[in-house]
Structure formats: structure tokens, C-alpha cells
Structure 1
Amino acid sequence: MNGSGIDYEAVFRRLPAPVALLTTDLVYADANPVYLTTIGRTRDELVGRYLFDVFPDNPDDPGASGMSNLGASLRRVAATGERDAMALQRYDVEDRARPGVWEERYWSAVNTPVFDGEGRVVLLLHRVEEVTELIRARGRTGAVDGERAQVLEAELYSRARELQEVNEQLRQAHAREHEVALSLQAAMLPALAPLGHHRAAVRYRPATGALNVCGDWYDLAELPGDQLAVAVGDVVGHGLAAAGVMGQLRSALSAASRVAEGPASALDVLGLYARFVDGAESTTVFSAVIDWAENTVVYSSAGHLPAALLAPDATVTFLDRATDPPLGARPEPQARPQACRAFTEGARLILYTDGLVERRDEDIDTGLQRLAASLVRHHGSDPEALADAVLVDLLPSGGATDDTALVVIAL
């Protein structure tokens, strides 16, 4: 059961078509009852076993290639993330009651990728249509039955082709949404305006290899008295919806930071505003005000990762003394905490989103240590050079699976 109230496991069990799930290593993960009946195997004989251990090609027939073709199709789907409707295949299946005796079967298969939240293929959905009787009918009956079998087979091919076309249309629609969301996000993220005699650098890197534009943002706003309000945030969700929510929250916080008495007060205002924005719940934000007259950073965090303060002596301190839950996490609003940290001239303040440091199956402290090590290695660099160096050090060479926003400010 999930948040929609639909029991998808029960739906899978009751699908009228034979359907199996395999891992990207071609190991059976599950199968519905119709599939088990079609292939003549029990669930225990299937789940956890390699595809070719369950159904090898007939070793006595050099022309038997149905399983090899199926394996090639599944691997292609795993590698490309594209659905594949296979041509009609002949499969020789060994009779369990008579070892060494192979039965000729004909199946039409459609293989579909199943993605995780980061757009990676994690499972392969394998749906088959049993057409053995149609092929046998065409071979052993007269012209009338043969023609009927041909018609039915043509309909089967047509349905598979329609599925391919629908899948391609969905893929193109997702690609268009991805491009529009990227454009929208880029348009709503502010260009870095001159900050007087102060220096700063901003970077935004979208995720690669997936259609999951996220709601990461940054904002800088000059305040009276040689002060600068700076923030980074991360909206839960992907695509156009997340990009739209991001734009609303960024604008609201930018306005609040100009009139509120400190970053905690600005986040209080943003939290109240977020209650009226669909999709804003659970957004994380780190907000700070830099005061060059006092050489202080006043900050508050709504569930966001701590900013890093890089001192001129290469000491790294994470600003984690004023952390509270994300926006909308509490049923009733409460005043957020605020902390102050002094800095030495020549220091650097680094704000970022989780795409920079978080990795699957890795503790977040490991990512923070990796960031600290990179900052120490490049301390003394100007903000532009430091921002580029950190991205090179921390983002995977093949591209990140999550968006990354980064702000570096010379103090």
C-alpha cells in the first residue's frame, strides 16, 4: 500500500497477463500467478534464480535462440531505459517430468524498465503472450484456420507496436518536461549581481542521466549597513511542479529577508507562506545574514545541511547550531532558532544543496568530510576557483543523480 491507497502488490498478483519482474542482472524478483501457470513453474522454482538457469536454450538444437534473444532484449532495456517489444520468439522449454525432452513454445514478449526515484533502472518488467497454439494451428490446419492464425498473430504484433509507440510518446513528453523545467529553473535562479567590493560565486548543476529536475535554489540579497542575506533551499519533488514551487519560495524568502529581523524570522515568514503553496511541505532551507561591519554570520536552518565556514588557516567549521525541522513539518508554527558565528577576514562561506555531498548507501558524515577535505585542499582560492574545484572534487565523473546548488562568498 502507498500514499495513493492502492495496493499495488495485489494489482500485480491479479493482472490478467503473464508478468514477471527481474533484476538488471536478470535474476527473477517476482512473478504473478498467470506467469507461473504459463511457464509451468512454481514461485519457489523461480524467485532468486538466474533467468538462464531456469530456462536455458535447448543444447540439442543449435537454432534455438529464443532465450538468448530475450536476454539481449532485457540487457538492452536495462542499459537504455527504453521499452522493447520483441518479435515473436520460439522457446524450447524442458519438460520437468521428462529431463532431456524439450517442448517447442512460442511467446511474444514486451520488456519494460522500472525506475527508482533517481531515474535509474532497477527492475525489468517482462510481460509475455502465449501464442503456441496459434502457431501450431497454422501449421496443422487448412487454409481457413491458417488465415485466422495469421490474423491473430498480426493483431498481436500490432498491439506490441502500439505499446512501443505509446512508450516513445511518453519518453518524448518526459524529455520536453525536463527541458522546460530546466529553462524555468534557470530563469528563476538569479544572476549574480555585483556585491560592491565583496566577491561571490554561484553554481547550479542539474542532475544528468535522468529526467528528474529538482527544486534546488539559491538567493543573495544586499541589505543596508554592509550586510548580505544569502540562502539555499531544496524543494521535495521533481519536474515542473518542483521548479514552480522553488520559484515561489525563493521569491518569498528574498522579500522576507529584506524586512525580517534576522534569518530565523525570515524563515518563520517563509514557513507561514509555504502552508498555502501546494508541494512546499518538507522543503529545506539554510538562511544566513553576513555582517561585514561586525564580522559575523547569523544563520538559521530549516532542516537543511549546514553551511561550511572555511577560515584563513584552513580550519573548517559547519554551522549547525541553529537547525530546526523543514518547512511545514510542525502542525503549529514555532519560532525558529538562530545562531551567530564570528569570522576572520579572508574566510569563505560555502552554502550548498544535498546533491553535492549525499550519495546512496553512504552516511552523510562521509560526504561532509569529503567537502571539508576539498575546502582545506583549496583554501586561499578566490570564490570562483574554489567553487569550480569543489564541484570537480565532489561531483561524480559521470554526472550527479541529484541537482546541486553551490554558493561561495569571500568574507
Structure 2
Amino acid sequence: MSEPAIDYAAVFQALPGGVMLLTPRFMIADVNEALLWRAGREHGQLIGRYLFDVFPDNPDDPDASGVRNVKASLERVLATGVRDTMPLQRYDIEAPGRPGVFEERYWRPVNAPVLDAGGRVVLIVHRVEDVTEIVRAGALDRGADRDRMEAELYTRARELQEVNERLRQAHAREREVVLALQEAMLPAPRPVGHHRAAVRYRPAVGALNVCGDWYDLAELPGDRMAVAVGDVVGHGLDAACVMGQLRSALSAATLVAAGPAQALEVVGLYARSVDGAESTTAVQAIIDWTTHTIAYSSAGHPPPALLHPDGTVELLDRATDPPLGARPEHVDRPEAHAAFEDDAVLVLYTDGLIERRREDIDVGLARLADALTRHRHAGPEELADALLAELLLPGGATDDTALVVIRL
């Protein structure tokens, strides 16, 4: 005898704790009966509305921080795909039927992601436990010592929130400095000869998860172009400085090297003398329009993608070696060649474009190939924008992303 099917919608409504389903834009998708009862709201007053429009901070409380704290937690869930349990929050809400009148309320919130098959956060489960009565009972019935303890805990929680906010602001200022340095060191988008190319850099979500990635394009004699991307391990100012050194070294080596393998060998030797350059990955391709061939070599980097005019995608993965400076002794790096037809597209990128937490890299490469095939008729600028829109997580990636798209 088969087991009866579980009515999960009925289970959701019967949950004893207040639960709300939010979209990645923090719009309310659904609520259960327990939350409606605790909040004193009707179902139609919440569905389809922005969370913080329905539950704003108390405008009469200058210290109100409920919106800021809850929003920060939700953004962490979007960025990491990991559950976030919040400390006790005072978050006053408007009294039912009394606009502008706020009731003092205390909550214990937990925010948990719902992921799709690609690892994207498609919903956030926002569960709240109303502990207002417990907090008040502690103040009224458990004596002066317990009352002082509750007040001390609440004060310490407020102080911790203030410290976290100051740290966030300091990190935000440092992030601005790092991004300005990154912008100054990376070449500005410009035409390379008569060839159509598009470049993109997207910083990661988070204060300092930026500036390990770079790209570079350069014209070479004989209707040739050198294009490269790389990824320094680490983030922040140190990574930005290492990135600038390695990008400049590779750009200089390209002008005198016999090909991309030799250029990466030179930079690999140089990387051994640069603190923080260990395990940097990079890939370089030299495009020759006279012979319609691409010479390439990779130092532990994800493979470039060659989109042929018929929509098939070829991953250039036949010349991959360990990252820069990883070998204790010098070994010649491999180099391979691929042929292309007019109107093909070459795409180089860093791992932020394809990698997802708890997902095999082949899944991300397949996702990239599918997007390239579907957008194969787009120009470089439109294709670059489409790839970022489709492949980066809705709440932003946890690693920065560099992308180069060239129509051949």
C-alpha cells in the first residue's frame, strides 16, 4: 500500500512558528498562519509586497536597527547560500488597525536559503520566534538580578551591533580604495585594432572579496592579438598589488616571448619572488587572423571557450599546467593551437563566472556553453552582458569576475 502524498502547502500553514517566504528581492511570496497571527496582519496585506515596506522601523525610535540588521542577514544568505541565525532583535511593528502606532516587540530570526539545481538562491525562508512575552516576563517576574541580566544582555547586543556597523563602514571605505586601485591598473575598454572586443570586471559581494582578477589585451605585429586573464589567490589591497605586478610582467613578456607558453614560463619564474603570488592562475591566448589559429597555454586556469559560428562550443583545455610558481623546478609549459572561422567568438574568464559552492566545475562549464550557444548572434558587448546576467548569482558572486569576449 503506497504512502499518502504529503501536502506541503498544508504543512507550511500548520507550522507552529512564524514563517515567511521571500524572493531574492525581499518581496513576500508567502506567509503561514502563525506569522499572520503574531504580526496581526491579513494574508492580502503582505503577499507581493516588499518586506521592509510592510515592516518598517519605528520612526520614533532613533536607535531602531531592525530593518538594517535583518536586511544585512538576508544579504549574507544571498551572497553565501548559507543559513544565517540572528541574535535577539528588538523590531517594533505597527499595531493592527492603528497606523503610526508601534508596539515594542522582540524576535529571534533565522534566514535559510532555498537553492535551485544551479546553486542559486531562489527563495529565503525567514522564520521568526516572537519572544516579546518572555523578555517582558523576565523584566517583571524574575527579580532585580534577572532584570539586570536581561538589560545587560540587550545592551551588549546593541553594542555588538554598533561595533559590527563600524567595521562594515571601515570595510566599505577600504573596498572603495581597493576598487579605485583596481580600476587604475586594469586597461580601460578600448578597440584593439579593428577587432571587436568587450571586457568586464564585476567585484564580489562583500567588503574585501575583490581585486584578485585581471584581464589584458594587446596588439601584436602581423594582425595578431594577445589576450589574457588571471586570478590571484586572496583579496583586498595585497591581492590588488600582486595582480598589478603579474599583469604588467605578463604584458611585457608577451612582447618578446615566442608564444603564450613561454610568456607564462617567464611570469611563473617572476612569481616566485613576489609575496602573495603563489598559486596564481592565468591563461593567455594569441589570436592570429592571418592563419586563423589561436595559440594558447594555461597555468591552472579554467579553459577559454571558443564559440564556432554553428553554435558548437570548444573548450581550449589541451595545454593546462599547474598555477604560476607552483613547481619547485622549472619545466617547459605546454602550448596548443585551435583553428577558427570568421565570426567565431573567443571567451576568457575567471572562475567567478562559472563556479558555485558545492557544485562540480563541469556543471558551470556546461552552463557557460549553453549560454554561448543561445546568444551566439549577439555582439561582444551584448554577449558579455548576457553572460554576466545569466551566470552570476542573483545576489552577486562571492568571488570577483573578469571576462573578455572577442568576435573573431
TM range (shorter): 0.5 to 0.7
1:357 counterpart residue number: 354
AA in 1 matched with 2:260: P
What SS does the corresponding residue of 2:168 show, helix, strand or coil?
helix
Aligned residue runs from structure 1 range 238-257, under 5 A: 238-257=235-254
Gap change, CA 1:155 and 1:210, over 3 Å in 2: closer
Distance 1:236 1:111 in 2: 35
1:356 shift after superposition: 1.1
1:395 shift after superposition: 2.1
1:322 shift after superposition: 0.3
Q: Which has the higher contact order (CA 8 A, sep 6+)?
A: 2
> CA offsets, 1:307-338, max 9 Å, x none?
01111222211110100011122122211111
Who wins on radius of gyration, i.e. which is larger?
1
Gap change, CA 1:298 and 1:170, over 3 Å in 2: same
What SS does the corresponding residue of 1:174 show, helix, strand or coil?
helix
Aligned residue runs from structure 1 range 211-250, under 5 A: 211-250=208-247
Q: Given that residues 216 and 405 in structure 1 are in contact (C-alpha distance below 8 angstroms), is that contact kept between their aligned partners in structure 2?
A: yes
Aligned residue runs from structure 1 range 9-408, under 5 A: 78-79=73-74, 160-208=157-205, 211-408=208-405
Distance 2:325 2:366 in 1: 30
AA in 2 matched with 1:315: T
User: When the two structures are aligned, how many residues end up with a matched partner?
Assistant: 315
1:385 shift after superposition: 2.1
AA in 1 matched with 2:226: A
1:158 shift after superposition: 5.9
Distance 1:149 1:392 in 2: 53
What SS does the corresponding residue of 1:183 show, helix, strand or coil?
helix
Structure 2 unaligned residues grouped into runs of 5+: 1-16, 18-65, 77-83, 91-107, 112-120, 122-137
Q: Given that residues 75 and 395 in structure 2 are in contact (C-alpha distance below 8 angstroms), is that contact kept between their aligned partners in structure 1?
A: no
Q: Given that residues 350 and 403 in structure 2 are in contact (C-alpha distance below 8 angstroms), is that contact kept between their aligned partners in structure 1?
A: yes
AA in 1 matched with 2:318: R
Q: Given that residues 192 and 217 in structure 2 are in contact (C-alpha distance below 8 angstroms), is that contact kept between their aligned partners in structure 1?
A: no
Distance 2:149 2:403 in 1: 58
2:12 counterpart residue number: none
1:381 shift after superposition: 2.5
1:209 shift after superposition: 5.5
Distance 2:377 2:155 in 1: 65
Q: Given that residues 245 and 279 in structure 1 are in contact (C-alpha distance below 8 angstroms), is that contact kept between their aligned partners in structure 2?
A: yes
1:68 counterpart residue number: none
Q: Given that residues 204 and 399 in structure 2 are in contact (C-alpha distance below 8 angstroms), is that contact kept between their aligned partners in structure 1?
A: yes
> CA offsets, 1:85-104, max 9 Å, x none?
768xxxxxxxxxxxxxxxxx
Distance 2:152 2:207 in 1: 34
Q: Given that residues 192 and 218 in structure 2 are in contact (C-alpha distance below 8 angstroms), is that contact kept between their aligned partners in structure 1?
A: no
Distance 2:141 2:394 in 1: 53
> CA offsets, 1:344-393, max 9 Å, x none?
12211111111111111221111111111111112233222222222223
Distance 1:227 1:80 in 2: 44
**More deviation, 374-383/218-227:** 374-383
Distance 1:380 1:150 in 2: 69
1:166 shift after superposition: 2.6
Distance 1:156 1:375 in 2: 54
2:407 to 396, 407, 410: 410
1:112 shift after superposition: 12
Q: Given that residues 209 and 401 in structure 1 are in contact (C-alpha distance below 8 angstroms), is that contact kept between their aligned partners in structure 2?
A: yes
Q: Given that residues 221 and 258 in structure 1 are in contact (C-alpha distance below 8 angstroms), is that contact kept between their aligned partners in structure 2?
A: no
Structure 1 unaligned residues grouped into runs of 5+: 1-51, 53-71, 88-109, 114-119, 121-132, 139-145
What SS does the corresponding residue of 1:301 show, helix, strand or coil?
strand
